[in-house]
Amino acid sequence: MSRAEAGSWSAVVLGGGDPGDAFAAAHGVSVKPLIELGGAPMAAHVLHALRDCGHVRRVLYVGPATPEIEALTDGRVTDHGTLLSNLEAGVEALRAGGLSPGERVLVVTADIPMLSAQAVRDVLDAAPVDAALIYPVVRREVCEAQYPGVKRTYARLRDGTFTGGNLFLLDPALIGQFLPRLRAILAARKAPLRLAGIVGPGMLLGLVTGRLTVEALERRVSDLLGVRACALITPHASIGTDVDKEADLDLARQHFPHQS
């Protein structure tokens, strides 16, 4: 483990979305990160957390923006329509602008408004230096203790029950190596037989039965992507608590009581 030096990370914030998103439309905006929360667009709260953490020197935003969002960023990239396309475009824009040798990139979705500067700082401080892809996860009991009544999707492993985070860290020099493989896995996620052919039936069985360990999952994902992947257990439930429906927005409003 190594501590990140202040200002040693660049970040891509994914603020794009489906232009037909009924949730966003119901709130009068084109994409959900623009929904107002606590007197500001949801995405602005995420950007403040990055700016205040002390470890992020540059932030690029992908997707539609407002003047308030643009004031918190160092550049904006047009929405390319899908999460992975936006990820690729954002990282490429960072590389075009110049990354320091060995610098890694923090990728954050713009729909986790309860994210705190401390949560970002703790994740960056704990990030292993030798992993090309680092994915924070949160224990179910932590989520439910910090946000009573929260509804999330969980995976039951031998080590515990976890939900995935909405930020991750990557080595931009290796993105071309693992992104095509990740795209294939995501494309097959709703086709069990096809997915089993990619990840292996034993892996799927282990997930279904709860017999898989975090370590075994890391090894298999690393093999599939061709780079070292690491799951990072974090005590910050805000990292795994996104807003994509009215119940989530109601929960977030409890933490922003002065919404106008």
Largest CA distance in the chain: 51
Interatomic CA distance for residues 168 and 220, integer angstroms: 18
Interatomic CA distance for residues 147 and 207, integer angstroms: 25
Residue 7: what are its φ and ψ, rounded to 5°?
A: 80, 15
Per-chain mean pLDDT for the chain: 87
Cβ proximity of 153 and 209 under 8 Å? no
Give me the torsion for CA of 215, 162, 178, 197, rounded to 10°. 80
Q: What is the pLDDT of residues 214-230, one digit of tens each?
A: 998 898 889 888 889 99
Going by pLDDT thresholds of 50, 70 and 90, the confidence category of residue 3 is very low
Q: CB neighbours of 122 closer than 8 A, spacing ≥ 6?
A: 234, 235, 236
Q: Which token pair is 100?
A: 């320091």
pTM of the model: 0.89
Domain boundaries, the chain: 9-253
Cβ proximity of 84 and 214 under 8 Å? no
In this prediction, residue 176 carries a pLDDT of 82
In this prediction, residue 22 carries a pLDDT of 92
Q: Give the right CATH number for 9-253 from 1.10.760.10, 3.90.550.10, 3.30.360.10, 3.90.1150.10.
A: 3.90.550.10
Q: Which residue has the higher pLDDT, 83 or 134?
A: 134
Interatomic CA distance for residues 122 and 178, integer angstroms: 26
Q: Which residue has the higher pLDDT, 108 or 257?
A: 108
pLDDT at 172 > cutoff 80: yes
Q: What is the pLDDT of residues 133-160, one digit of tens each?
A: 999 999 999 999 999 988 888 888 899 9
In this prediction, residue 7 carries a pLDDT of 46
Q: What is the pLDDT of residues 23-60, one digit of tens each?
A: 999 999 999 999 999 999 999 999 999 999 999 999 99
Nearest residue to 125 via CA among 55, 181, 172, 62: 55
Interatomic CA distance for residues 13 and 77, integer angstroms: 10
Instruction: Return the top range by mean pLDDT from 54-68, 165-179, 244-258.
Output: 54-68
Angle value at C-alpha 83, between 141 and 122, nearest 5 degrees: 40
Query: Which residues, in sequence order, are bridge partners of residue 138?
Result: 163
Q: Which token pair is 175?
A: 């993105």
